[in-house]
Amino acid sequence: MEKNLKIHPAFDERCPVRASLALLSGKWTLMILFQINENVMRYGELKRAVTGISEKMLIQELNMLVENKLVSKEVYPQIPPKVEYRLTKLGLKTLPIVDQLAEFGLENLV
Amino acid sequence: MEKNLKIHPAFDERCPVRASLALLSGKWTLMILFQINENVMRYGELKRAVTGISEKMLIQELNMLVENKLVSKEVYPQIPPKVEYRLTKLGLKTLPIVDQLAEFGLENLV
DNA sequence: AATAATTCTAACCATTTAGTTAGTACATTA
DNA sequence: TAATGTACTAACTAAATGGTTAGAATTATT
């Protein structure tokens, strides 16, 4: 039905701020990136580090971050399983964003 | 019902990153702040500047930003109405965050 | 033989967020 | 006289996001 052709203004699609938010504005996303930081972290370690997150959200976010190349994943073929996560070069570039948000929050919100 | 006492880990409540995201991570929030920027803007101007936003979302966000002191609002008792919005000191402090997100988006996403 | 530890997956439900449609009031313009 | 512009509000619907519960596979531990 011709009426339903949605207009997606270029603004929406190409706006770099929107693009960044689409990637990073989830409830847990930046927390996870921040916790991984410069470290190598196993799934279980992250679960403990990111207080309050459910297992579903944790792997869902991790998978999404791996897909988007912010995080890399190394699986060791062992039993019980061992999986390591770390930030990619791209992932490391998000840390300044976390810093800005942290600074703003610290100074004005909390 | 005792079962429903929700546990809100301190982490969640006091984390400055979460606090900032709670305020700023909406679909339109940062766009609006960015469009107002250092200017004085009327409701209608904003409507045109923030392409694609609905009137509902626009005033909803504006009201929320005024409540949270990121934006100030001046109403002129005229017919037809005239209302001006501008960033407060606090609101201006969000612009570096927008810049970070824009930079990250530009370099890596769009 | 049962339990714990590890890293997930799947199905379902609840909540939050965003979008749509319609309408208000008055004044000016066509 | 009818349409246009201004800044909203309200009621409802749709979509996105997050949470809960259960379980699977294998080994080591009790």
Reported as a single tens digit per residue, the pLDDT across A55-95 is 999 999 999 999 999 999 999 988 889 999 999 999 999 99
Nucleotides of C under 7 A from a protein CB: 5-11, 17-23, 25-27
Domain B8-108, what fold? Arc Repressor Mutant, subunit A (1.10.10)
Rounded to a whole number of angstroms, the distance between the first and last alpha carbons of chain B is: 49
CB atoms within 10 A of CB A81: 11
pLDDT at residue number A94: 97
Strand C close to A9 by CB, under 7 A: no
Range A29-104: architecture per CATH:
Orthogonal Bundle (1.10)
Q: How far apart are CA A105 and CA B21, in angstroms?
A: 9
Reported as a single tens digit per residue, the pLDDT across B27-72 is 999 999 999 999 999 999 999 999 999 999 999 999 999 999 999 9
Cβ of A11 and B51 within 8 Å? Answer: yes
What percentage of chain A has pLDDT greater than the value 90? 81
Cβ atoms of residues A58 and A47 within 8 Å: yes
Nucleotide nearest to B3 (CA to C1'): D20
Beta strand pairing status for B71-76 and A71-76?
Answer: unpaired
